[in-house]
Amino acid sequence: MKISDILEYTELRSFLGRAKTVKTLLIGDICADIYWSCDMTKSRLSRETPHFPLPVVRERMSLGAGGNAAECIKSLGVNDLSVIGVVRNDWRGECLRRLLAERGIPDDSVITERTGFTNAYIKPMKFGFSGEEVESARLDFENELPISPETEEKVIVKLREKAADADILVVCDQFKNGIITDRVIDEIISIAASGKPVVVDSRTRIDKFGGCVLKPNEVECAAALGKTPGRNADISEYASLARELSDKMGSSVCVTVGDKGSITVNSSAKLIPAVAAKPPFDVVGAGDCFLSAFSTALAVGFTFEKAALFGNMASSIVVKKIGTTGSASPEELETTYTELEVNSEKGIMNI
């Protein structure tokens, strides 16, 4: 089944046109994704140690975590985007500000914390005679101490100020000791209770955001319920978990389930089919891209189910971008619209 069978072209054009007018506020853990291309044909045994070093011949950087979600939102054509984040007073913090500026994202609400280091994921990419890169184990720079009380207070002041004028608040909770503290969570819940649409993507604490729209993946959803999905879990098991989380939190829920698509629980539970993608693909950043399209579609008034379909469509473009987090542009969404197929013959289904 073609995506055009369940999503009309006029809906796509409406989504892309109205996205330009949305006032989006994103708060979350921003970090640097740093890629080191290592030419292993140049590696020589160290004289001092019994190891072959990684000869780095190229270095490139991109926005990671909440920063990547912000870039994905901006790439959809959203002109009015504010980002509340924290960097440290180091070279990676300077690089993050530069990356935001290059993408036209204001950094006036990005706060500099004087202690610790700017969070980063460093990804060594090895290649040999074939030239094909293979990612090695990451080096994760993640602070072990929480942000200072002074920085926390600045974050809350910024959140109150910016949320008042925003159409939607998007929350990216990535790190244990990041910007989303208990006090910040309380403020986010208060904003949601006031009637403002709030969409939350949280790696380990999705069960703390009652009353918000929750967007976990299947593992995060199960963990919030103290469970682990079976290795061969089917859609019915994932749907049961999604319903349970929705009931527990009093929230609408959208659970992404990889190549199976996504499950929405609003007034009822539905399976939103995935957009088919053939190997090779790279799933890094797909969740951020889904979040950006899903949130933007909700902000401009699309139904919960159609918003999830836009999320599936955007993430299907990103997974084809190998070795980078990536984003989906309006041009890419339009170009691929007539080609994309969903992995279902029934479209959106009640489950």
Which pLDDT does position 289 carry in this prediction? 94
Which pLDDT does position 230 carry in this prediction? 78
Which pLDDT does position 150 carry in this prediction? 97
What CA dihedral angle connects 143, 145, 149 and 154, to 10 degrees?
10
Which pLDDT does position 340 carry in this prediction? 85
- Give the C-alpha separation, 287 to 256, whole Å: 8
Amino acid at 205: R
* Nearest partner of 61 among 103, 110, 14, 7, judged by Cα: 103
Which pLDDT does position 318 carry in this prediction? 86
Bridge partners of 314? none
Which mean pLDDT values do the consecutive 10-residue runs of the chain (351 residues) have? 93 97 98 96 96 96 96 96 97 97 97 95 96 93 96 98 97 97 98 97 97 96 92 90 96 94 94 84 82 97 96 89 80 91 88 89
Q: What are phi and psi of 116, to 5 degrees?
A: 80, -165
Which pLDDT does position 57 carry in this prediction? 98
H-type alpha helices, 271-325:
286-299, 304-318
Bridge partners of 80? 23
Whether this model's pTM surpasses 0.75: yes
Bridge partners of 28? 172
Give me 164's structure tokens. Answer: 């008042």
Asked whether 51 and 80 are in contact (CB, 8 A), the reply is: no
Which pLDDT does position 246 carry in this prediction? 97
Contacts of 41 (CB under 8 A, 6+ apart): 128, 129
Which pLDDT does position 152 carry in this prediction? 98
